[in-house]
Amino acid sequence: MAVAVRGGRAGGGGSGGFNLLSFFSYRIFVSAMFTLLFIVTFSVLLSTNPSAPQDESALPTTGNAYVHRTFLALKSDPLRTRVDLIHKQANDHIILVNAYAAYARKLKLETSRQLRMFDELAQNFSDISLKPTYRASLFESDSIDEDVLRQFEKEVKDRVKIARLIIAESKENYDNQLKIQKLKDTIFAVNESLMKAKKNGAIASLIAAKSVPKSLHCLAMRLVGERISNPEKYRDEEPKPEFEDPSLYHYAIFSDNVIALSVVVRSVVKNAIEPWKHVFHVVTDRMNVAAMKVWFKMRPIDGGAHIEVKAVEEYTFLNSSYVPLLRQLESANLQKFYLENRAKNSTVDVPKLKFKNPKYSILSHLRFYLPEMYPKLHKILFLDDDVVVQKDLTGLWKIDLDGKVNGAVETCFGSFHRFAQYMNFSHPLIKERFNPKACAWAYGMNIFDLDAWRREQLTEKYHYWQTKNEDRTLWKSGTLPPGLITFYSTTKSLDKSWHVLGLGYNPSISMDEINNAAVIHYNGNMKPWLDIALNQYKNLWTKYVDNEVEFVQMCNFGL
C-alpha cells in the first residue's frame, strides 16, 4: 500500500491519496465547529444564571439579545398586558370624547346636556385609574388581583359603551352642523367680498359719471376753436321776437353738455308735428356758452324751430344777495361741505367755485327761477339734458292743471319714493308741515304754469326753505327735496306714459313701456354718452346724435 501511495504521488495521476486527505480535513473542520457551538451555548447558560441578577426591563445589546428577549417573553405577566390594553382603550376614548366636546363648544349648539355628558365621561375615564383600589391592585402592585382587574375592565367597558352610544347619536348632527357652519362662513366671506366689490364699483361708477369724458371735452374745445378761427361767422344775433311769444311752445333746458343738449333738441324737433312753433331756451355756464352757440350755428335746427343760448351770468338778478344757494356757497363752511374745498379762508374765486359741482351749482337750481327768467311766458316745459323725446309733446300745454303749478309724473309705489325718503321728518319744521307718506314725483319733464307760480309766490317759498336748510338738517343734497317742498300740494299727477324713468340705472324696464313713452329719461349714473351706459337703451339716444358734424367724428365719441 505504501508503494501504491508513493507511486500515486509520483505518478501524479492517481486520485486515491487526494480523497483520503480531503476526508481527514473535513473531519477536523466539523470537530472545530461543534467545539465552537458548545462554547457559545455554555456562555449563554452562564449569562442567564439566576445567581447573576440583571435588569429584566432593559434589553441587552450584546450578541445574545434575541435569546434574552425570548426568555423575557416567557417570563412576562399576561395580566399586566391586559391592564395595559384596558388602560389604553380608556385613554383613546378620553381623546375621542374630548374631541366631540370641542366640536360642541365650537358650534355653539343647543347641546348643553350632551356637552355635560361628554365632560363627565372624560372625567370618569380619568378618575377610574385614580381610584385607590385600582391604583393599589393594578398599577402600583407587583402582583395583579384578577377580581379587581375584572371590575376595572367592566367599568371601562361600561363607559366605553356609553361614550360610543352618545357619539353615535351626536355624530351625524355634529357633522351636519359643521358643514352648515362652514357654509355660513363661506357665505359670509363671499358676501363681504361682494359688498366690497359693490362699494368699489359704485365709487368707480360715480367717478365715471361725474367726470367729463375726453370726447366731450374734445368736442367743446373744437367748437371754441372754430369760433376763435372764424369770429365774423359766429357773431351773436339780436333776440328774436319768438323768444317771448307766449303763443308758441317753450322749453327750458339747463346744461353744460353740448352733445346731450343737441340730442334733446333734435329729438323734440324730429317728433314735433309743427316744429316751427317750438322755442328752446338753453342756459349754460360761461365756459360752454361759446361752444353751444357754434354748434347750433353750424347745424341749424330743422323745421324752423327757434333756439336761444345764454350764459347764466346774463341773468344779473341771480346774485348772492338774492339767491340763498349762492350766498351759502360763499360761506367757507359750506364751500368745504359742498365742494370739498379745504381753503382756510373765503378768498376763493366764488364765481368759479359754484360751477365745480353740478349737483350744487346754480345751473341745477335755475328751475326755481323760471317765472323771473321768462316774465312774458305763461307756460314752459322743463327738460333735463339726459332725456330723449319720442313723441309730439304739444299735448302737455293742453292739459288742465286745475290751478296747480307743476305737472309731473309720480314715482311712488308701495312705500317707495315717499316724502319720508327725501326729508328729515325728525325735524319739527318738516314734521309739522308735510306728510311723510306723500307721493314723490319726477324732475326731468315738468310742465309749469308760470302764472300760477307767480300767484303762489313759490320762488319765495323755495328761498325760505333753502335758507332754513343752511345747516343741512332738513335734507342732505340735491334739487328734488327742495322741489318736493316748494311744489307741495301744487303738483298735478300726469299719466305715466308721458315720462318713463330709470334708463340710467335699471336694466329691467319693459321695452313696451319704453316704446309707448313720450319722454324717456336716463336718470342715474349710466348716462348714454358714457362708456358705462346700459347697452340695451343706448341706441335710443345715439340715433339722435348728429354724426355729420365733423367734430363728432374727430373726437371719437364711439357712438
The pLDDT tens digits for 306-362 are 999 999 999 999 998 999 988 887 776 666 655 554 444 444 444 333 334 444 578
Q: Which residue has the cell 426568555?
A: 71
Closest-CA residue to 388 (of 494, 283, 522, 512): 522
Query: Which of 211-225, 363-377, 390-404, 442-456 is the least confident region?
Result: 211-225
pLDDT score for 550? 86
Single-letter amino acid code for the residue at 38: F
pLDDT in tens, 59-115: 344 444 444 444 444 455 677 776 777 767 777 777 776 776 676 666 555 455 666
The residue-averaged pLDDT of 214-241 equals 91
Paired residues of 499 in beta bridges = 519
User: Rounded to two decimals, what is the model's pTM?
Assistant: 0.65
Contact (CB, 8 A) for 305 and 279 = yes
Contact (CB, 8 A) for 137 and 127 = no
pLDDT score for 452? 97
Q: Which residue has the cell 319722454?
A: 519
Question: Is the pLDDT assigned to residue 535 strictly greater than 90?
Answer: yes
Contact (CB, 8 A) for 275 and 303 = yes
Contact (CB, 8 A) for 251 and 280 = yes
Contact (CB, 8 A) for 559 and 545 = yes
Burial of 542 per CB tally in 10 Å (0-12, 13-18, 19+): middle
Question: Is the pLDDT assigned to residue 127 strictly greater than 90?
Answer: no
Residues 6+ apart with CB under 8 A from 417: 411, 439, 440
pLDDT in tens, 130-176: 676 666 666 666 667 677 777 777 777 777 777 777 777 666 666 77
Q: Which three cell numbers stand for residue 148?
A: 379587581
The residue-averaged pLDDT of 125-133 equals 67
Question: Is the pLDDT assigned to residue 496 strictly greater than 50?
Answer: yes
| b (16+ CB within 10 A) / e for 217-255 | ebbbebbbebbeeeeeebeeeeeeebbeeeebbbbbbbb
